[in-house]
Amino acid sequence: MNDDLWTTYESPLGPLTLIGGETGLAALHFPGRSGPLDESRRDGGAFAEAVRQLDEYFAGERTSFELPLDLRGTNFQQRVWETLRGIPYGTTRTYTSLANAVGRTDHVRAAAAAVGKTPVPIVVPCHRVIASNGDLTGYLGGLQRKRALLEFEAGVSQHEPAPAVWAARQLSLL
């Protein structure tokens, strides 16, 4: 994938902007989160596999992503993002358990900050991390999208609601 190619994916959560890096998908932005992009670098074909997997995810047919990623961050951020990818579909973890999983029990806030900087949300399921008391906390796409993703995954895991019904409901909420 070429660095700085991009496309827009129409999701049940609104249009998502996919941005390529040198070796894979480098960013996924929620509506209103992308800066100006060079229209001449728009190339939907470069993202065919990412679009296919996102379609499968939102249809309730995919529980994890198998895409080449180009995640740029510190070593600690990289460890956090890799750990996020291991959180099972339809489940949540706390920021404390995430810090423990990366071997830094004393770095809960740093782990939370790394979650907040996840460059490809949904693909790297940062929405699956919640506060120790069960509260939903900050999410780049907004708490309503975080809640929607968690409810969607829980529903698919329990075989209801049907993804199409869920998607229609989410569009009306945003």
End-to-end CA distance of the chain: 31
Residue type, 160: E
- Contact indicator for 161, 26 with CB cutoff of 8 Å: no
H runs (alpha helix) in the chain: 48-58, 75-84, 95-101, 108-116, 143-157, 163-173
Strand partners, 94: 130
Of the candidates 28, 99, 112, 126, the residue annotated as catalytic is 126
- Contact indicator for 160, 135 with CB cutoff of 8 Å: no
Active-site residue 61, yes or no? no
DSSP per residue over 11-62, as a string?
A: ETTEEEEEEE-SSSEEEEE-TT------GGGB-GGGGHHHHHHHHHHHTT--
* Catalytic residue IDs: 126
